[in-house]
């Protein structure tokens, strides 16, 4: 017994690097940025900016990570978020109640994700295909209903949901990001459902033969993503005060997948850590920020992002093979 | 020519302070079929990985064909004529035989296109050298497993292999195929002077087909010697098994006579597709019921149906006096059934989860203090009880389950059911891919569970296994029960007669019925 515990505590450098490489990369990027820019970079307002600019996609990424770990993927999250956000704004405008809007967002988003989950599990269609189709459907319905335009709100209390500054300096939107990170981390690590999500993604057959309703687990993963999308929809629409049917939320699905992947979530399922997805979101934000501070043409930002995604996965592959 | 095709001396290897190989000597003569045997974890694979250049040794010497090698790498070893044929076949099913043979070093015609004719010609030459008939243009995916193995051997011969290492080559082969592969191996050794190192758990084959043996136990070489009577062999199968585990295992008696309780499971008229036809049986508390028969005769489908993994078309099941018709494994589990599927890697091991999580996966809800929030302490406690009960050996609960040996993995996937105190355990091939020592431990565990009153159904194609631990056995033939044998009627002969469709007489001269001369 004792020897078991002793060896558990022994942490080699290799293990340490494997486990914390993402954090180290984040710290390294901060150090580089600080050397390049000095105090401009290290200021609180700059950090708040970085996180706020990536918090909406980051919140979606937490749900996305769970879905990928469960062995699926969701390409419709961007379109779903905009669809949910526009209905929410409409409800807020008609009822004048921000609360009713938030409730609508959760109810509508979870319903959509439930449908996704049901088609994927009961219909046995690969999630890639299902959500690819849903993405077109959502976006098209949205553009049709809004006539290619957008929807705005003047509701003051709804606007405060995102932009109210806690203690006078901490925007609520950032609080949501960290709260969602904490909730999703907790679910993934400390609940039965979380463990089952990893199990299903790792070996669905063996999990089923352990007497676990694997379809249900996969649907729950989609539902959690649906809840994350609802939070993202409210955060985005409340900060902007408007939603555009053609331009809002484009590319969010790929950015959310990118954050998960940079954080070490494996596309084949079963592997990944939610804390690292959070760092994936930081890294994503830092790239943007550093490049802007250094004065690289913003048109080149995506090239750097793409390179970082590939390098991150390359490094993880290498460290797993060792 | 050197006396030895291969000589490895004083090989030492440690992993994280744990010695895996302790000054091991291993030598193979040219043209010899040499069996390397030992339990899982004895060091066979490590030794061979060192030879293949995949793993670096800490110290020791390696000589190939009399030439001492200072540095080993996969490339160098291939150059020196050492080929490694792994258990998992390394062929591309969607390519043809010749494409597989020349994969990565295709022969080219003068203008740079691939020279199909030349490759087919060379392929035919190597097959005729091996005295086998394989069409170079056949799609590999359409071939039998044994033929795929032959393709792999042919590939190593095309690379001029002088030493071929075969890791458990026969696990997925039928008896006919095994014979074919062995004939081929012997032929290569005799006629072409190729040395073959044969790693296996199946001692029957080892004794029957190999020339020489080396036994490893806990990283040490414990014995070696000839296997052919003409070379002065003095060992039999039981001797080698004893050397592997360090005790007399084949004769270890595991069966414990005991009082059987009331009926706990009763199945009547079970019909599953065309695989199971009108099967009825009962199982008492504490009874070990064997279900045997040839491959594909429905025993797998039957247990999967009972557990809810396959839909049952007709029939009824009564479990603990209550009707039970599981349509999903979750319902089978809920009714009090536990299920150990065959084919561990595919159906039982959750590879990305730790050892502990693989054990607790069945009853995670019981590891919670509040709602569905896991308690690390409870979970650890549950896993630790399983570890103690089954004497599962490992260093750390948080290690990957795939780091365990086959026997220990099997103990993990078996022990996980105990936490839910099942009333019936359905075990499909419980000792598949497990070495002799671990086999006996698993048998002893099964007996212990039976003594505690768990009803146990075991499916197995190995008659010896059924005879060893079962109170009673059903023999299936083409989906239906051909006969039922009580413990005193359980003989390999009776099982064979029934599983090939024969009938037993009720008197002692049971074989007489099938004897055409009577």
Cα B327 → chain centroid: 30
Buried-exposed string B312-334: b where 16+ CB fall within 10 A, e elsewhere: beebebebeeeebebebbbbbbe
Distance from CA of B333 to the nearest CA of A (A): 6
Whether the pLDDT of residue B122 is over 70: the answer is yes
Burial class for B26, CB neighbours closer than 10 Å (0-12, 13-18, 19+) = buried
Query: How many beta carbons lie within 10 A of that of residue B501, not counting itself?
Result: 13
The answer to whether position A100 is within a domain reads yes
Cα B260 → chain centroid: 31
Q: Where are the domains of chain B?
A: 6-81+161-245, 261-336+422-518, 349-421
Residue reference for tokens 């996704």: A116
Task: Determine which helix (DSSP H) or strand (DSSP E) holds B69, and give its type and residue range.
Answer: strand B67-69
Look up the CATH number of domain B6-81+161-245.
3.40.50.300
| H-only helix segments in chain A | 2-9, 13-37, 39-42, 44-69, 77-95, 98-122, 127-145, 156-163, 172-190, 192-202, 204-208, 214-240, 252-262, 274-294, 301-321
CA torsion, ordered B89, B90, B92, B96, to nearest 10 deg: -80
How far is CA A252 from each of CA A37, A140, A180, B113, rounded to the nearest angstrom?
Answer: 29, 17, 17, 46
From chain A residues 202-261, the ones with a CB under 8 A of any chain B CB are 202-203, 205-213
Q: Do A270 and B330 touch (CB under 8 A)?
A: no
A252-262 and A77-95 are packed helices; what angle lies between their axes, rounded to 10 degrees? 120
Flag whether residue A5 sits within 8 Å of chain B, measured between CB atoms.
no
Q: Quick one: pLDDT band at residue B512, thresholds 50, 70, 90?
A: very low
Q: Do B334 and A271 touch (CB under 8 A)?
A: no
Quick one: pLDDT at residue B169?
74
Give the span between the Cα atoms of A228 and A281, in whole angstroms.
15
CB A58, CB A183: distance < 8 Å: no
Give the span between the Cα atoms of B202 and B136, in whole angstroms.
31
Residues 6+ apart with CB under 8 A from A201: A68, A69, A70, A71, A268, A269, A270, A271, B352
Give the span between the Cα atoms of A178 and A164, in whole angstroms.
16
Q: Which residues of A touch B303 (CB under 8 A)?
A: none
Interface test with A, best of B17, B333, B352 (most A CBs within 10 A): B352
Task: Determine which helix (DSSP H) or strand (DSSP E) holds B344, and give its type and residue range.
Answer: helix B344-347
Q: Which residues of B touch A271 (CB under 8 A)?
A: 352
Find the closest chain B residue to A70 by CA distance.
B352
Interface test with B, best of A7, A18, A204, A209 (most B CBs within 10 A): A209
Quick one: pLDDT at residue A318?
63
pTM: 0.76
Worst-scoring range by mean pLDDT, A189-193, B106-110, B170-174, B312-316? B170-174
Q: Do A202 and B416 touch (CB under 8 A)?
A: no
Residues 6+ apart with CB under 8 A from B299: B291, B292, B293, B428, B459, B476
On the CB side of A133, CA atoms within 13 Å amount to 9
CB B170, CB B6: distance < 8 Å: no
DSSP B371-392: TTEE-HHHHHHHHHHHHHHHT-
CA torsion, ordered B52, B58, B59, B62, to nearest 10 deg: 0
Per-residue pLDDT of chain A (322 residues; tens, 9 = 90+): 344 444 444 456 666 766 777 888 888 888 888 887 777 777 888 888 889 889 999 999 999 999 999 999 999 999 999 999 999 999 999 999 999 999 999 999 999 999 999 999 999 999 999 999 999 999 999 999 999 899 999 999 999 998 888 888 889 999 999 999 999 999 999 999 999 999 999 999 999 999 999 999 999 999 999 999 999 999 999 999 999 999 999 999 999 999 999 988 998 899 999 999 999 999 888 888 888 877 888 788 888 888 888 887 887 776 655 4
Flag whether residue A182 sits within 8 Å of chain B, measured between CB atoms.
no
| Total domains, chain A | 1
Query: Considering just the CA atoms, what is the radius of gyration of chain A in Å?
Result: 20
Quick one: pLDDT at residue B16?
63
- Domain range holding A229? 53-321
Q: Do B362 and A210 touch (CB under 8 A)?
A: yes
Residue B143 three-state SS: coil
Give the span between the Cα atoms of A244 and A237, in whole angstroms.
10
Query: How many beta carbons lie within 10 A of that of residue B255, not counting itself?
Result: 15
Residue reference for tokens 């040996």: B405
Q: Do A211 and B362 touch (CB under 8 A)?
A: yes
Residue B39 is given by DSSP the state -
CA torsion, ordered A276, A277, A282, A288, to nearest 10 deg: 130
Whether the pLDDT of residue B310 is over 50: the answer is yes
Which of A75-79, B9-13, B368-372 ranks highest by mean pLDDT? Answer: A75-79
The answer to whether position A41 is within a domain reads no
Flag whether residue A63 sits within 8 Å of chain B, measured between CB atoms.
no
Worst-scoring range by mean pLDDT, B55-64, B155-164, B250-259, B287-296? B250-259
Query: How many beta carbons lie within 10 A of that of residue B394, not counting itself?
Result: 17
CA A160, A166, A168, A171 torsion-angle sign: negative
Quick one: pLDDT at residue A68?
97
Whether the pLDDT of residue B250 is over 70: the answer is no
Find the closest chain A residue to B329 by CA distance.
A211
Residues 6+ apart with CB under 8 A from A297: none
Q: Pick the more confident residue, B219 or B456.
A: B456
Tell me the mean pLDDT in the region B358-362.
93
The answer to whether position A31 is within a domain reads no
CA torsion, ordered B63, B65, B67, B68, to nearest 10 deg: 0
Give the span between the Cα atoms of B453 and B220, in whole angstroms.
41
Residues 6+ apart with CB under 8 A from A87: A104, A105, A108
Quick one: pLDDT at residue A29?
84
Q: Do A199 and B334 touch (CB under 8 A)?
A: no
Strands ordered across the beta sheet of B314-319: B276-284, B263-272, B314-319, B322-323
For position A176, which CATH number holds? 1.10.3470
The answer to whether position A12 is within a domain reads no
Mean pLDDT rounded to a whole number for chain B: 85
Q: Which of A8, A193, A205 shows the shortest C-beta gap to B372?
A: A193
Quick one: pLDDT at residue A297?
84
Query: How many beta carbons lie within 10 A of that of residue A234, not counting itself?
Result: 30
Q: Which residues of B touch A201 (CB under 8 A)?
A: 352
Q: Do A202 and B352 touch (CB under 8 A)?
A: yes
The answer to whether position A27 is within a domain reads no
Interface test with A, best of B364, B387, B422 (most A CBs within 10 A): B364
Burial class for B228, CB neighbours closer than 10 Å (0-12, 13-18, 19+) = exposed
Quick one: pLDDT at residue B108?
84
pLDDT digits (tens, 9 = 90+) for B457-472: 999 887 888 888 999 9
Chains A, B: CB contacts under 8 A, how many? 86
Distance from CA of B418 to the nearest CA of A (A): 12
Give the B-side interface with A, CB within 8 Å.
307, 309, 328-330, 332-334, 339, 341, 346-353, 357, 361-362, 364-365, 367-368, 372-374, 395-398, 416
Q: Do B351 and A203 touch (CB under 8 A)?
A: yes
Distance from CA of A34 to the nearest CA of B (A): 38
Residue B324 is given by DSSP the state -
Find the closest chain A residue to B344 by CA distance.
A206
CATH superfamily of domain region B261-336+422-518: P-loop containing nucleotide triphosphate hydrolases (3.40.50.300)
Interface test with B, best of A3, A5, A190, A206 (most B CBs within 10 A): A206
Tell me the mean pLDDT in the region B140-168.
85
Q: Which residues of A touch B397 (CB under 8 A)?
A: 4, 8
Find the closest chain B residue to A266 by CA distance.
B352
Q: How are beta strands B455-459 and B424-428 bridged, if at all?
A: parallel
CA A172, A177, A182, A188 torsion-angle sign: positive
Q: Is B261-336+422-518 the same fold as B6-81+161-245?
A: yes
Q: Do A206 and B347 touch (CB under 8 A)?
A: yes
Quick one: pLDDT at residue B206?
84
Q: Pick the more confident residue, A193 or B395.
A: A193
Q: Do B350 and A206 touch (CB under 8 A)?
A: yes
Residue reference for tokens 């750390």: B396
Q: Which residues of A touch B330 (CB under 8 A)?
A: 211-213
Quick one: pLDDT at residue A243?
92
Q: Do B362 and A7 touch (CB under 8 A)?
A: no
Q: Do A211 and B395 touch (CB under 8 A)?
A: no
Q: Do B329 and A208 touch (CB under 8 A)?
A: yes
Task: Determine which helix (DSSP H) or strand (DSSP E) holds B118, and give its type and residue range.
Answer: helix B116-130
Residues 6+ apart with CB under 8 A from B302: B270, B272, B275, B276, B279, B291, B459, B476
Give the span between the Cα atoms of A57 and B390, in whole angstroms.
47
Quick one: pLDDT at residue B509?
40
CB B168, CB B199: distance < 8 Å: yes
Give the span between the Cα atoms of B44 and B220, in whole angstroms.
10
């Amino acid at each position: 017994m004792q020897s078991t515990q002793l060896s558990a505590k022994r942490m080699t450098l290799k293990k340490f690097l494997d486990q914390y490489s993402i954090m180290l990369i984040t710290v390294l990027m901060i150090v580089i940025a600080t050397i390049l820019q000095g105090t401009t970079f290290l200021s609180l307002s700059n950090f708040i900016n970085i996180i706020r600019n990536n918090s909406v996609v980051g919140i979606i990424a937490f749900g996305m990570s769970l879905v990928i770990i469960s062995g699926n993927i969701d390409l419709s999250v961007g379109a779903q978020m905009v669809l949910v956000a526009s209905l929410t704004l409409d409800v807020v405008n008609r009822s004048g109640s921000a609360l009713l809007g938030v409730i609508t967002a959760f109810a509508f988003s979870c319903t959509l994700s439930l449908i996704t989950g049901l088609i994927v599990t009961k219909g046995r269609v690969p999630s890639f295909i299902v959500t690819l189709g849903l993405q077109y459907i959502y976006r098209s319905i949205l553009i049709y209903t809004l006539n290619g335009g957008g929807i705005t709100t003047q509701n003051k209390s709804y606007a405060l949901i995102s932009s109210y500054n806690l203690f006078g300096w901490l925007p609520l939107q950032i609080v949501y990001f960290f709260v969602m990170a904490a909730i999703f981390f907790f679910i993934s690590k400390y609940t039965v459902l979380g463990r089952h999500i990893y199990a299903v993604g790792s070996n669905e057959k063996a999990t089923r033969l352990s007497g676990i309703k694997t379809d249900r687990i996969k649907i729950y993963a989609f539902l959690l993503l649906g809840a994350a999308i609802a939070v993202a929809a409210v955060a985005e629409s409340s900060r902007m005060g408007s939603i555009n049917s053609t331009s809002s939320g484009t590319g969010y699905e790929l950015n959310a997948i990118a954050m998960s992947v940079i954080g070490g979530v494996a596309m084949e399922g079963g592997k990944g850590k939610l804390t690292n997805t959070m760092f994936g979101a930081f890294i994503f934000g830092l790239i943007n920020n550093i490049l802007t501070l250094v004065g690289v043409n913003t048109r080149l930002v995506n090239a750097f992002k793409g390179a970082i995604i590939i390098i991150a996965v390359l490094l993880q592959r290498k460290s797993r093979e060792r | 020519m050197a006396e030895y095709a291969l000589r490895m001396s004083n090989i030492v290897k440690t992993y994280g302070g744990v010695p895996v190989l302790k000054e091991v000597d291993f030598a193979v003569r040219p043209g010899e079929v040499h069996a390397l045997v030992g339990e899982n974890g004895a060091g066979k694979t490590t030794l061979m990985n060192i030879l293949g250049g995949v793993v670096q040794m800490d110290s020791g010497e390696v000589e190939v064909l009399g030439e001492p090698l200072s540095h080993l790498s996969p490339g160098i070893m291939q150059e020196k004529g050492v080929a490694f044929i792994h258990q998992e076949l390394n062929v591309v099913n969607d390519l043809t035989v010749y494409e597989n043979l020349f994969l990565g070093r295709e022969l080219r015609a003068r203008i740079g296109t691939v020279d199909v004719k030349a490759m087919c010609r060379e392929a035919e030459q190597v097959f005729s050298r091996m005295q086998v008939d394989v069409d170079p243009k056949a799609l590999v995916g359409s071939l039998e497993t044994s033929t795929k193995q032959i393709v792999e051997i042919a590939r190593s011969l095309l690379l001029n292999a002088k030493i071929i290492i075969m890791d458990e080559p026969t696990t997925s082969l039928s008896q006919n195929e095994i014979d074919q592969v062995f004939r081929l191996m012997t032929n290569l050794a005799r006629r072409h002077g190729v040395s073959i190192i044969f790693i296996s758990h199946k001692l029957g084959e080892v004794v029957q087909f190999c020339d020489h043996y080396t036994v490893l136990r806990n990283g040490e070489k414990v014995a070696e010697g000839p296997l052919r009577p003409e070379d002065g062999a003095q060992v039999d199968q039981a001797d080698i098994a004893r050397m592997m585990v360090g005790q007399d295992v084949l004769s270890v008696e595991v069966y414990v006579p005991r009082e059987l309780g009331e009926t706990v499971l009763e199945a009547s008229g079970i019909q599953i597709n065309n695989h199971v036809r009108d099967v009825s049986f009962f199982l008492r508390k504490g009874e070990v019921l064997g279900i045997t028969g040839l491959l594909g005769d429905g025993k797998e489908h039957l247990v999967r149906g009972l557990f809810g993994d396959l839909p049952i078309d007709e029939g009824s099941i009564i479990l603990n006096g209550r009707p039970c018709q599981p349509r999903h494994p979750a319902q089978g589990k809920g009714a009090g059934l536990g299920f150990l599927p065959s084919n561990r890697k595919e159906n039982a091991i959750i590879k990305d989860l730790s050892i502990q999580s693989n054990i607790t996966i069945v009853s995670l809800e019981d590891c919670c203090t509040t709602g569905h929030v896991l308690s690390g302490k409870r979970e650890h406690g549950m896993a630790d009880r399983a570890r103690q009960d089954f004497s599962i050996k490992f260093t750390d609960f948080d290690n990957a389950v795939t780091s365990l040996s086959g026997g220990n993995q099997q103990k993990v996937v078996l022990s996980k059911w105990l936490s839910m105190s099942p009333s019936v355990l359905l075990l499909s091939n419980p000792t598949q891919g497990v070495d002799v020592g671990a086999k006996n431990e698993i048998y002893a565990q099964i007996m212990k569970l039976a003594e505690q009153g768990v009803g146990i159904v075991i499916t197995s194609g190995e008659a010896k296994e059924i005879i060893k631990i079962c109170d009673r056995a059903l023999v299936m033939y083409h989906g239906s029960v051909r006969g039922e044998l009580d413990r005193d009627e359980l003989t390999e002969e009776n099982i064979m007669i029934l599983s090939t469709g024969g009938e037993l007489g009720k008197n002692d001269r049971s074989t007489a019925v099938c004897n055409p001369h009577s």
